[in-house]
Each structure stands twice: as structure tokens, then as C-alpha cells.
Amino acid sequence: MATRKLLQRVTEAVPQGEEFVAAFQSEPASVDGKQPIAPKEHRPQVFVGMNRPSDSWGTVFSVLGRLLTNDLFNYSAPMNSDAGQREKCRQEGAAFFGDWTSNAGELLAALQPQSRTGVISMLTVTTHRARVIYIQRRRGSMYRLRDGTELGWSWPLDQLAWVRQRAGKNVQFGFPDGSWASVVAHTADDLQRYFPHMLPKAADIPR
């Protein structure tokens, strides 16, 4: 759930010529408890040189917390980019199809930025585009915002091949290159409001 201050920061970051519609704190959706983890070379570096000494302590506390919850090691969900397996993945409703250079892979990698300071990745919908906007936060504290804001990945809404509703608040985006990706959109809103042509949960992935 995004706070009012966080949404204000996102709204202010929207480029001129676009109007803010909605924004959701987002991350790649998990598959059987595993996330598709992008290799470092595909993950954007953000807020370079903007970290502070307190971020180092935040990192320590974050690691300790993950140790206590047995969540230190992330295991990557299986991925498939074999064109010969696409139909099987489509029929099985796979959460991610494509490689890290595909349109869908670029979106998932954008939601996993690298930074020495804290980052909140906001999947943002404007009148023309879906885009990722990064808001700086203190590392180890989700809602202690700092001054940094950066624009990341973006895609024209009218060039999305399809959008599909998934379980909970998960949304799946299909792209013209045949790839697709599932992301979590943390919100209490009805996502159908922002994606009026969204396919229902029961719908198959389009061919």
C-alpha cells in the first residue's frame, strides 16, 4: 500500500506531457514461493553515490531480519524462453515467458534495481505509458523517504499486447515480442479501473 506522501512523490516525477493515473508499489510475482531473479548485469543501478552512513546500518538490520525469518537466500523461479515451449507455457499459464532481453524480462529486471541506498519501485500508470519510477528511501526503513527520484523502464500503453488479471493483486503483462511477465501491484484498488481491457483470471494467455 502506498502512502499519500509516496504517491505525491511519484506524481511529481511523471514527465511533462503525461498525466498521473495510478501507482503501485511493485515487484516480480512469486512462482511457488520463488521469484524470477534477474542477473546483475540486467538490473539497473539507481541513486548512485546518494547513499549515507545510516544506509550501512540499515543493510545490517535488514540482513539480520531476513536471517531470523529464514528469508536470506532468494531462489529464482524457473524461466523459459524457448520458442518451441511457448505454447506449453501458454497452456499452463506460466508467470513468466521470455529471457532477460525480452520486453517482459526488461520489466522484471527494472523492478529489481541495484542500489546502496533504499529504493521503492513504483509501477506507475499515466495517460500514455506504464513506467517504473524509483523513490529513494532510507535503507532498512520502508517509509522514511529521501530526496532521490529516478525514472526507469517505460512502455506505451497502446503497445501492450494484453493485460491479464491474476490471483490477488497480481497483474500479467503481455508484449509484442511474445513474452509476458507477472508482477505484484500492492493496492486496495480494483485494477480493472486502470486497465479497462484487462482479461479476467479465467482467460487463457492469448496466442
pLDDT at 7: 94
Q: Distance between CA atoms of 8 and 52, rounded to whole angstroms?
A: 24
pLDDT at 144: 84
Q: 40: pLDDT confidence band, cut at 50, 70 and 90?
A: very high
pTM score of the predicted model = 0.87
Q: Distance between CA atoms of 77 and 97, rounded to whole angstroms?
A: 11
Is the predicted pLDDT of residue 109 greater than 80, yes or no?
yes
Torsion of CA 163, 166, 170, 171, to 10 degrees: 0
The maximal CA–CA distance of the chain, rounded, in angstroms, is 50
pLDDT at 62: 42
Q: What is the pLDDT of residues 54-81, one digit of tens each?
A: 665 444 444 433 433 344 455 576 778 9
More reliable by pLDDT, 16 or 57: 16
**pLDDT-above-90 percentage for the chain:** 63
Q: 140: pLDDT confidence band, cut at 50, 70 and 90?
A: low
Q: Which residues on neighbouring strands pair with residue 96, listed in sequence order?
A: 181
Is the predicted pLDDT of residue 37 greater than 80, yes or no?
yes
* Amino acid type, 26: S
Q: 196: pLDDT confidence band, cut at 50, 70 and 90?
A: confident
pLDDT at 113: 96
pLDDT at 142: 67
* CA 8 to mean position of chain CA atoms: 19
Q: What is the mean pLDDT of the chain?
A: 86
pLDDT at 77: 67
DSSP 69-133: TT-SS--BPP----GGGHHHHHHHT-SEES-TTSHHHHHHHHTS-B-SSEEEEEEEEESSEEEEE
Is the predicted pLDDT of residue 119 greater than 90, yes or no?
yes
pLDDT at 118: 92
Is the predicted pLDDT of residue 157 greater than 50, yes or no?
yes
